[in-house]
Structure 1
Amino acid sequence: MEDEHEAIDRLSTRIDEKLSSFSTVSLPMCFKVPNLLRQTNEKAYEPQIISIGPYHHGKDHLKGMEAHKIFYLNRLLQRRGETGVRKYVMALKVKEEKIRECYAEPLDHNIDGDALVEMMLLDGCFIIEIIREYQTWNLGELQERNGNFRNFNVESVVCDLLLVENQLPFFVLSELFHMTPEPNQENDEHEATDHLSIWIDHEKLSSFSTVSSSGCSIFRVPNLLRQTNEKAYEPHIISIGPYHHGKDHLKGMEVHKMHYLKRLLQRRGETSAHRYLMALKDEEKKIRECYAEPLNPKFDGDALAKMMILDGCFIIELIRENQTETQKIDVDFRNFNRFSLKRDLLLVENQLPFFVLTKLFQMTGGPNQENVQGFIPLALLFFSRVMPGYGNGLVIRDQNIKNLLGLVLDSWVPSLKARDNYRKISKEYGGWNFKYSATELHEAGIKFKKIDHEKIVIKPEIDEAGNEVIKMGNEKSFFDIKFENDVLWIPTIKMYAYTDSILRNFIVHEQCHNNDTRYVTDYVTFMDCLINTSKDVELLRHSGIIVNNGLGDDEVVATVFNKLCDSIVFSKKSFYSEIFIKVKGYREKKWNLWMANLKHNYFNTPWALISVLAAVSLLILAAVQTIYSHLSYYKR
């Protein structure tokens, strides 16, 4: 009996101890999504762009935002005139236990005390600085003013901050907010001696300043855009540069790269590529800075230079032989589609720095090919047949060109005349709420007509300063859409099987560079507004505006345009703002609105038309019969 009482006492004591310890522990406030709910729609609970807190920290597709967190911390310190983070680290370090208690699940073993404090500081400062910016600007202005978000959709970042598993304890945000008010004269007078604060100060912040000043020009496709159509950004035949190098399905082209280099050396009477290797090794730092992400460790100095030589010489020799049309008898490509090859060379992630190409072009050229400007017309001619429309009258100088994709895009923007006109009359268009499809506009009396272009001519000219420049001999551009009277004039677009991929990569290029305008983005948005269904495509096809060259039926073309705009960042000031306003105004005039409703409700099918005509005929016959009846009555 006594033993039983002792056992009861021990059990009671153990339970009391648990209850006592529980009362001293804060209830968790940052939970994981229950598995039963997660299974209903897993993507709804996963961050697309940024990780906040420990649950999703370190995931590959979210690492791109870590540099932006460092940038925001660096900017916060500069705003406050501070050079170190010691006081913030100390403030968070003493709250480590409280922070851990806020999370419902044990944190990863890699997140020790220092790692946890670092995460809280970087994530917390990022959030409060974003909130401070929003106090001054709305999301659209934040997107345009802040070049750090050129790769990302700000609305998507905000959505990620509202995920259950992407949270920080609120007291962390509150404390950091109160510690970092608007500029004041209170600076930390103590030297940064804590090892963690020193590591953040010197390693992280200094490395960020080095990266940010480099002006990278070759980006990875943001994960949010990649998910819309992953295959559109993947090379099918050839890898160029480090991002896709070594993938199994692309290794077949490595032999052809070597063959082209060997042929180049033979043509020049050289037996070694040593001088090219030395020239590019001298540019190693500059080459690395062109890539937005750190390169694989396997690309040391020699490996990087070798890859640049093989890929670069392949491209310039391919472009050279295009000039003489030797590809017709070149057996190297009997197993490959040259259009697919050109498509691969226009992928965002499949680029070399342009200065590498021009340097190799100069070093391997003949008497007439030593000028950098000689490479530009050859490259533009090489890609002209894969483009869905014609170029413009833009003058191109090589100083502004970052890679082949950028060169082709620069040659493809609206004409100088159209851009000058846009700058004069541009108006802010509040959101993308243009709601009328091509069919609806046609019902309102708007006609669709194509704009014909002359064949493109590419020629060098001398500018006023005596510098040689390249001028495209076409006064109109693929983007030069206009609305006159009741006619919407749109240049012809040729839809090939690879057009979707080319347009998507142009869009990503625009999204990743801090451009004032995004012409391709604006164009596909305009076309997406016009095209809702296959009927809209059919109307534009009959008007000669869409030429389907093997992409598929009208439904496929409609789907392409409807999905091109998924997850992209729209321009606040569209290149087509004036056209949107004019077309909308024409459509909403009372007479045009009445005619549109009449056509839509009564003439939308042959049977409806027959019914209306039958009803009108009956009314006419009834009226005639009534008139004859009255005439007969009076004659009596």
Structure 2
Amino acid sequence: MSSQFDPKFDELQWVIQIRRTLEEDQLDDQEYSGELPVCIFNVPKALLSTHPDSYTPQQVSLGPYHYWRPELFEMERYKLAAAKTTQKHFQTLKFHNLVDQLIKVEPRIRACYHKYLHFNGETLAWMMAIDASFLLRFLQFYATKEGIRASSRMSHLVDNAILRDMIMLENQIPLFVLRKILEFQFSSLESANDTLFSILIGFCKELSPFKLIIIMEASESAHLLDLLYNMIVPKIEEPSEIIELDVHGKETSSADSSSYVKKLLHEIWKLISKLNRGPVRFIKQVIISKAVKFILKFPLTILSNLPGFAMLKQPVEYLFFSQDREESRPENDVSRPPLVEEITIPSVTELTRAGFCFAPTNGGVSTVSFDVKTSTFYLPTVTLDVNTEVVLRNLVAYEASNASGPLVFTRYTELMNGIIDTENDVKALRERGIILNRLKSDGEVASLWNGMSKSIRLTKVPFLDKVIEDVNKYYSGKWRVKVGILLKVYVFDPWQFLALLAAILVLLLMTLQAFCSIYINTRVLPVKRTRTVI
């Protein structure tokens, strides 16, 4: 075995493989019929550059993408040990008989990988047989913890680093290869399928951050990561337009403001809310009534054109007419992909201060919802540990590479990225049972979500986009939020405050001038008329 892979292309071998592929009329595998779908991809460069360690195996290589990396050669002896153990479970056949069977389905194996494989057929078959044996043995020992304790050889290998390596996109092996091994061990194909299904489901339950939806057979999935994705992410049938777009950086929330301002507004609004009955309630209804809006709108249009009054136009329109603009806005086209700005959403702390409640659900990503009547934001329970970040990132990478439709899971991670800014946001969700934190601190959880990459393309995800839209609309319609934003923009911003103060002073001076003119005319003119008579 060479210690380093030679990247130069073997032209003769390539010609032989291409010629063989074109000359074959059909595959010898009786199980397969139809097209050959690519299911194991290279991680998109836009994602790989953000956090390479989450996509690059650190302990063990599975499959051809990282097979020749010298730093992973230490695990080869454990792979060979797993192959010997696998051979002992064969009834009458030898390990090379398994390799012969894999050589027959070599084109199918190659078709699963997006990258061209610089291996001849026999090398690829031996690689698959050995790596699949190791993976299968690891899954079996991991699924039965008693087996882990009983095996001194495998016990020290069962660590989080290997678990993370096994779920990485570029480190996947087609599941039909694992099924081939089990067929050699069992008398029937049904027994092999049942055994494989139970092993994979047990592994996914341990590794998944969410409650799994087991609605399919393992045979319907391409590999381990694909199986986990299918049990976490619901299938959406609605067609959606896709726009290829590189997205860099983290979006900033438009509702950010200093904490002391928010606390002040929150306390003031709490006091007013307690008096939200009788005269106070009547005054509030009068202020937002259509009659008052009509009375204000006409003079506002005239005054806003005068010097010094332009600054008053925007805050008054924001307080009294913003809701009218929201109601008159046409409904969003379902087929129109969302803009980057539409993904922005207030943080958990901001939503809580505005009167929102948060509640956990027992389902997956499809259970995200918002109840306007009760102001309750429903989010699925997610368990976070040392393996979660790698799992989440590779699910996003697989969805971006494989999915031709909406990026459902990616939009969920963007939603969590948007509502979680600090450890206070994490603490609020943890106290409500939405986040089960097995990391060292809430700060690590906040860093995890804030460090998640943006998607490499934007799509319309109907149910999640509706939730984001409803939350933003309900939040921006709150009077306490409007007052807070106005205080931030026109009071606590020095330049805006000075401009607003100047406008108010000009208004007061003009009012005083008008009053004085009227008062003097009514007092002086009658006196002069009296003196003339005398």
Measured against aligned partners, the alpha-carbon deviations of 1:209-244 in whole angstroms (never above 9, x if no partner) come to xxxx74321111122211000000011221100111
Distance 1:503 1:530 in 2: 17
| 1:268 matched to 2:90 | yes
- Aligned twin of 1:577: 465
1:45-124 equivalence runs, <5 A: none
- Aligned twin of 1:507: 396
Deviation, structure 1 residue 579: 0.7
Distance 1:421-1:488 versus aligned 2 partners, 3 A rule: farther
Q: How many residues align?
A: 366
- Aligned twin of 1:359: 180
Distance 1:431 1:395 in 2: 34
Kindly indicate whether the alpha-carbon contact (under 8 Å) linking 2:169 and 2:397 is maintained by their aligned counterparts in 1.
yes
Counterpart residue type for residue 431 of structure 1: L
| 1:278 matched to 2:100 | yes
- Aligned twin of 1:95: none
- Aligned twin of 1:471: none
Deviation, structure 1 residue 503: 0.7
Q: TM-score, normalised by structure 1?
A: 0.52
Deviation, structure 1 residue 368: 8.3
| 1:339 matched to 2:160 | yes
Secondary structure class of the residue paired with 2:360: strand
Counterpart residue type for residue 339 of structure 2: G
Distance 2:69 2:447 in 1: 30
| Segment drifting more, 254-263 vs 390-399 | 390-399
Measured against aligned partners, the alpha-carbon deviations of 1:360-419 in whole angstroms (never above 9, x if no partner) come to 2222235686343542232021221121111125334624x22111011111123x8xx6
- Aligned twin of 1:382: 203
Measured against aligned partners, the alpha-carbon deviations of 1:64-89 in whole angstroms (never above 9, x if no partner) come to xxxxxxxxxxxxxxxxxxxxxxxxxx
Measured against aligned partners, the alpha-carbon deviations of 1:525-556 in whole angstroms (never above 9, x if no partner) come to 11011112233222222222222212x43333
Secondary structure class of the residue paired with 1:450: strand
Counterpart residue type for residue 222 of structure 2: K
Counterpart residue type for residue 509 of structure 1: Y
1:203-352 equivalence runs, <5 A: 214-270=36-92, 272-296=94-118, 299-325=119-145, 326-352=147-173
Distance 2:104 2:197 in 1: 24
Distance 1:269 1:564 in 2: 48
| Segment drifting more, 481-490 vs 247-256 | 247-256
Distance 2:120 2:167 in 1: 26
Deviation, structure 1 residue 358: 2.0
Kindly indicate whether the alpha-carbon contact (under 8 Å) linking 1:429 and 1:577 is maintained by their aligned counterparts in 2.
no
- Aligned twin of 1:431: 339
Q: TM-score, normalised by structure 2?
A: 0.62
Deviation, structure 1 residue 509: 0.5
Kindly indicate whether the alpha-carbon contact (under 8 Å) linking 2:148 and 2:155 is maintained by their aligned counterparts in 1.
no
Match of 1:517 among 387, 395, 406: 406
Deviation, structure 1 residue 286: 1.6
Deviation, structure 1 residue 517: 2.6
Match of 1:443 among 349, 353, 357: 353
Match of 2:233 among 381, 394, 413: 413
- Aligned twin of 1:498: 387
Kindly indicate whether the alpha-carbon contact (under 8 Å) linking 1:409 and 1:506 is maintained by their aligned counterparts in 2.
yes
Match of 1:591 among 479, 494, 499: 479
Distance 2:58 2:78 in 1: 15
| 1:477 matched to 2:364 | yes
Deviation, structure 1 residue 429: 6.4
Distance 1:327-1:479 versus aligned 2 partners, 3 A rule: farther
Counterpart residue type for residue 577 of structure 1: D
Counterpart residue type for residue 536 of structure 1: D
Stretches of structure 1 that go unaligned for 5 or more consecutive residues are: 1-59, 61-201, 207-212, 454-475, 602-636
Distance 1:541-1:599 versus aligned 2 partners, 3 A rule: farther
Distance 1:592-1:420 versus aligned 2 partners, 3 A rule: farther
| 1:563 matched to 2:446 | no
Distance 1:336-1:264 versus aligned 2 partners, 3 A rule: closer
Distance 1:548 1:269 in 2: 46
Measured against aligned partners, the alpha-carbon deviations of 1:292-326 in whole angstroms (never above 9, x if no partner) come to 11113xx2222111111111122223333444431
Measured against aligned partners, the alpha-carbon deviations of 1:164-223 in whole angstroms (never above 9, x if no partner) come to xxxxxxxxxxxxxxxxxxxxxxxxxxxxxxxxxxxxxx99xx9xxxxxx74321111122
Deviation, structure 1 residue 260: 1.6
Measured against aligned partners, the alpha-carbon deviations of 1:321-346 in whole angstroms (never above 9, x if no partner) come to 44443112211234334333222111
Counterpart residue type for residue 368 of structure 2: I
Stretches of structure 2 that go unaligned for 5 or more consecutive residues are: 1-6, 8-17, 23-34, 241-331, 490-534
Distance 2:182 2:80 in 1: 17
Distance 1:557 1:396 in 2: 33
Distance 1:270 1:598 in 2: 80
Distance 1:264-1:590 versus aligned 2 partners, 3 A rule: closer
Secondary structure class of the residue paired with 2:359: strand
Distance 1:497 1:268 in 2: 37
Distance 2:133 2:461 in 1: 41
Distance 2:131 2:59 in 1: 13
- Aligned twin of 1:542: 431
Kindly indicate whether the alpha-carbon contact (under 8 Å) linking 1:391 and 1:413 is maintained by their aligned counterparts in 2.
no
Counterpart residue type for residue 439 of structure 1: T
Distance 2:77 2:397 in 1: 30
Kindly indicate whether the alpha-carbon contact (under 8 Å) linking 2:365 and 2:409 is maintained by their aligned counterparts in 1.
no
Secondary structure class of the residue paired with 2:377: strand
Measured against aligned partners, the alpha-carbon deviations of 1:253-311 in whole angstroms (never above 9, x if no partner) come to 21122112211222334572121011000111221121111113xx2222111111111
Secondary structure class of the residue paired with 2:397: helix
Kindly indicate whether the alpha-carbon contact (under 8 Å) linking 2:50 and 2:453 is maintained by their aligned counterparts in 1.
no
Counterpart residue type for residue 437 of structure 1: S
Distance 1:490 1:600 in 2: 30
Distance 1:392 1:266 in 2: 35
Counterpart residue type for residue 448 of structure 2: V
Distance 1:521 1:337 in 2: 29
- Aligned twin of 2:417: 528
Q: Which has the higher contact order (CA 8 A, sep 6+)?
A: 2
Distance 1:402-1:445 versus aligned 2 partners, 3 A rule: same
Deviation, structure 1 residue 522: 1.4
Secondary structure class of the residue paired with 2:358: strand
Kindly indicate whether the alpha-carbon contact (under 8 Å) linking 1:358 and 1:375 is maintained by their aligned counterparts in 2.
yes
Kindly indicate whether the alpha-carbon contact (under 8 Å) linking 1:438 and 1:539 is maintained by their aligned counterparts in 2.
yes
Distance 1:244-1:545 versus aligned 2 partners, 3 A rule: same
Distance 1:541-1:234 versus aligned 2 partners, 3 A rule: same
Deviation, structure 1 residue 422: 12
Cα-Cα RMSD: 3.4
Measured against aligned partners, the alpha-carbon deviations of 1:441-471 in whole angstroms (never above 9, x if no partner) come to 11110011222x3xxxxxxxxxxxxxxxxxx
